[in-house]
Amino acid sequence: MLKKSQVWVETAIYTLIGLTIISIILSTALPQIEKIKDRETIKQTITALNKLNLKISEARESISSIRTVDLKLSKGRLEINPENDTLVYILENTRLESSEPGIKIKEGDIIIQTEKYGSRFNIFLTLNYSSFINMTYVGGDNKKTLQPGSIPYNIKIENMGVGLDKRYVLDFSLT
């Protein structure tokens, strides 16, 4: 009778030890997996922003030209900000430190900036058109924020001509 109870006690102890080891491994591995996912999200977003930037350049070439681009956001958000003539992608509350906090890094036309947010970080990818494009959203200066979703956004970019300030007026809208 004593041997049977000893076997059950040993089984319970070994099971608890196994579960403890698994939880320790998961607690160290999951943050690293999250960083890798966020790094890939940033890479894919940079590629998508470069494609969007190319379409904006094409639309700027001739008056009345219209370009469309599909953009899928799986994480983060994209702000179309006509007031500042910028497109800003924001990935909030991530463990990934993409660059030194507070330092702006230029990769092509995209400005990458990481800001400290408690023990985590916020990453900003910015396309600034203020020197040569006057952006509008559906004819006005209203900011539009695109949230993550399963369906891609179809962004339409239309060249409305040259404004009084000698900058091209590009109107953004969603179709």
Confidence tier at 9 by pLDDT (50, 70, 90):
confident
- Token readout for 143 is 């900011």
| Chain-centre distance for alpha carbon 78 | 7
* Residue 13 pLDDT class (50, 70, 90 cuts): very high
Task: Give the separation between CA 132 and CA 71, rounded to whole angstroms.
Answer: 23
Residue 1 has pLDDT above 60, yes or no: no
| Residue 2 in this model has a pLDDT that exceeds 70 | no
Taking residue 4's Cβ as centre, other Cβ atoms within 10 Å add up to 8
β-sheet bridge partners, residue 118: none
| pLDDT more than 70, % of the chain | 98
User: In terms of DSSP bridges, do strands 168-174 and 133-137 run parallel, antiparallel, or are they unpaired?
Assistant: parallel
> Average per-residue pLDDT in the chain?
92
Q: How much is the average pLDDT of 38-57?
A: 95
Kindly state the tokens that stand for 84. Answer: 């500042």
SS3 17: helix
Rounded mean pLDDT of 19-37? 93
Domain around 79: 2-174
Q: Which two tokens stand for residue 164?
A: 């009084």
pLDDT-based confidence at 76, cuts 50/70/90?
very high
- Domain total for the chain? 1
Asked if residues 81 and 141 have their Cβ atoms less than 8 Å apart, the reply is: no
Q: Is the confidence at residue 99, as pLDDT, over 90?
A: no
Handedness of CA 162, 129, 88, 32 (dihedral sign): positive
In this structure, are residues 67 and 153 in contact, taking their beta carbons and an 8 Å threshold?
Answer: no
DSSP-based three-state secondary structure for 32 = helix
Q: What's the pTM?
A: 0.85
Residue 8's pLDDT is what?
A: 84
* CA–CA dist 56, 51 (Å, integer): 9
